[in-house]
Structure formats: C-alpha cells, structure tokens
Amino acid sequence: MPAMTVNTKTNNKRSHKALTYKEAGVDVSANTRWVAAIESAMHSTYGPRVFKDRHGGFAGQFRLDFDEQLFRKNYRRPVLVGCTDGVGTKVLLAIEMGKLDTIGIDLVAMNVNDLITCGAEPLFFLDYLAVHKLDPEHLLQVIEGIAAGCREAGCALLGGETAEMPDLYRKGDLDLAGFAVGVVELRRTINPSLVQNGDIVVALPSSGVHSNGYTLVRKLVAQAGCKLSQHYDELGETLGEALLRPTRIYVNAVMSVLRCYRRKQVITGMAHITGGGLHENIARALPEECDIVLRKASWTPPPIFDFLRRLGTTRGEMFKVFNMGLGYVFLVRPFYVDGVCRILRRAGENPILIGRVERGRQRVRIE
C-alpha cells in the first residue's frame, strides 16, 4: 500500500498570510508581562523556606525541613497532604458585579480549610486561572486576593498557571482552581478512628454562603428577579455584597488549638462544611459505629440563608446544600471542651457547642 501523502499546494492562486499566535488569539508577550506584574503579590507570601531566587523557573521549590535556629521547622515522620478545589459558579456573580478581589480569597479558603481537617499545616499553594483574554488590570485583583488568602493561611503562593484560551472561554469569562500542599506528623494525623461516643461538637461560624451552592443561589435570584445592587434591610447591605463575602479561612484557629495540645489527642475529628452541608461533611469525620446529634436551636444562621429560602426553596433543601452559618466543626473530648473554646476565643473566634457524638451508623441528625 503506498504511503499517504499530503498535498500542501493550494487549489487556487490565492496566497495566505503567515498566521501568528497573537493573531490566532494568544499573546505570548502579554503573558510574559503578566508574570512580571504578579511577582510582588507572590513574594508577599514567601517565608524562609521558599527558594526565592527560583522565581520564573518551571516549578517552585519549598524546603520541608529548615535548620536555621530562628526558623527551625523539622519533622520526624512527615505525611504530605494535598487537595484541590475551585470557587464554582460564584465566579459568575463576581464577573457580573465587576468585583474580582474576593474570589481569590475564596479559592485559598476552599483548599486550606479542607487540608487542615486532618491536622496538617498548609505549606504552599498553586493556582490555575483560565481566561478568554489576559486583562492585567482586572486579573491582578484575582491574584492579589489569592496572595491575601495565602498570607492569612500562612502558606506560600509558590506558583501557578494562567491560560489564555479565547476558543474555549467567551469574552469576559474566567475560571479558577487551586491546589494546596501541607504536612502533618504521622502520630498527629486526625482520622475517624479517634472519635468516641460522648465527644462534643464545637462549631465556628461561617461568614455566609461561602463558596458552595451558587448554581442554586443564582437560579433563585434570577427566578425572583432580584438585583445584586439592591440594598435589603434584612441583610444590612446589598444582595451582591452578601453573596460575594469571601469564605472564612480557619487555619489560624485550628493551628492555635493543635499547637496547644501537642501530646494529648484532644481533637478527635474536624470537618469543613462545604457542599452537602452539615449532614454529609460531618459524617465524613465519623467512624461507622457513631452518629452525631446536632441541636438546631443552638445557633442562628445569618440572614442571607432565610432570604434565599424565601426566594423559592425549602429549609430541608437548604440544609442539604449550604453550611447554614457553620463553616468549620471540631469533635472534642468532653474534658477539654472549655480549654479548646478558650483557645478559639483568643484566636478571635466565637465557638458554639452544637451537639454530641452518640452510638449509631455514621449519620448526622439535626433535632
């Protein structure tokens, strides 16, 4: 069989101009300028364990152990912990409002709050930003938000990727994903086997909807004809401001507790309350033989949740989808509850006792 050949000659006499990457829709030189523009935001997150002179290479580098006396940080049996997450369709609200400075904080929060549930300390963070067209003036808001989140979480923004894809994204579109890496000593890892009957559930408040359920949020808002720019007395602000409030970062609170109890296993479980609400997320921290019973009367959800319910959904659906005012949960040995709450208050938190562990079948019941 003869080899296949490709005829590169045109069938007419018209000549075609040589096409450049920029004319196809991607400006490589703009990306180079973009990398230089975000350098200061990244450097603001660096600590002594980051190789600062490697910026601009193919990968960031971070020292796990650090022997200098002032910053001594060594591990005996380290376990690396990694996770990835995004911000979901909350990005669409940010684009609609022309306010991109908070979704970067959301991105960091959604990752590091997951990572710390097993007792890990966040080390570094990487981001992926996909856009129709590089617009440094607006996109720098996103990166500065990511850097602010990393500073709050105590981790380095070690690198990232910005992908300009005009064929895949419409004008004005963007999407975000993040990747966090942390470390925990093997003997200090937190897992469901530690949980016991009688452990107390201590919760930390959320700032609002955080970054889950925004497909439902957007449908409810559109269905009711609400305007994001409208001020509502029951919210004390505009609807857009309430919905764009960034996800809280709980790293400082969690690390404050864990550092105070380096030897005793006081915290038996933790959960970040994201998609699936209280039922699904707290259940992930439980062994098969335990239930958790929550007292509904022990906390009051922020006004945004009742506002959304009245737009056209049910309370039952709300509890399946949203955090309902509780962003993070500890399971604590009964004897240490008062001490843990004192530490959390010193860290600026307002801990709430919302329930207890009972014998059961890995369920969460709200009564």
- pLDDT of residue 3 exceeding 60, the answer is no
User: What are 55-70's pLDDT values in tens digits?
Assistant: 567 888 888 887 765 5
Residue 353 has which token pair?
């006792």
Distance CA 141, CA 139 (A): 5
Q: What pLDDT, on the 0 to 100 scale, is given for residue 31?
A: 66
- pLDDT of residue 6 exceeding 50, the answer is no
User: What are 183-194's pLDDT values in tens digits?
Assistant: 999 999 999 999
Q: What pLDDT, on the 0 to 100 scale, is given for residue 335?
A: 96
What pTM did the predictor assign? 0.91
- pLDDT of residue 71 exceeding 70, the answer is no
Q: Are residues 115 and 124 in contact, defined by beta-carbon separation less than 8 angstroms?
A: no
User: What are 331-346's pLDDT values in tens digits?
Assistant: 999 999 999 999 999 9
Distance CA 111, CA 125 (A): 9
- pLDDT of residue 13 exceeding 70, the answer is no
Helix axes 136-153, 251-260, angle to 10 degrees: 20
Distance CA 18, CA 253 (A): 58
What domains can be seen in the chain, in order of their start residue?
26-53+77-188 (3.30.1330.10), 192-366 (3.90.650.10)
| CA dihedral of 191, 194, 199, 201, whole degrees rounded to 10 | -10
- pLDDT of residue 216 exceeding 70, the answer is yes
Provide mean pLDDT across the span 25-51.
Answer: 79
Which residues, 6+ apart, have CB-to-CB distance to 219 below 8 Å?
none
- pLDDT of residue 212 exceeding 80, the answer is yes
Provide mean pLDDT across the span 321-339.
Answer: 97
- pLDDT of residue 37 exceeding 70, the answer is yes
pLDDT-based confidence at residue 23 (cuts at 50, 70, 90)? low
- pLDDT of residue 272 exceeding 80, the answer is yes
Q: What pLDDT, on the 0 to 100 scale, is given for residue 5?
A: 45
Residue-averaged pLDDT of the chain? 90
Q: What percent of the chain has pLDDT over 90?
A: 74
Q: What pLDDT, on the 0 to 100 scale, is given for residue 316?
A: 93
Which residues, 6+ apart, have CB-to-CB distance to 269 below 8 Å?
190, 192, 194, 195, 199, 285, 286, 330, 331
pLDDT-based confidence at residue 49 (cuts at 50, 70, 90)? confident
User: What are 240-267's pLDDT values in tens digits?
Assistant: 999 999 999 999 999 999 999 988 899 9
Q: Among 20-24, 111-115, 180-184, 290-294, which is the least confidently predicted range?
A: 20-24
Provide mean pLDDT across the span 68-77.
Answer: 72
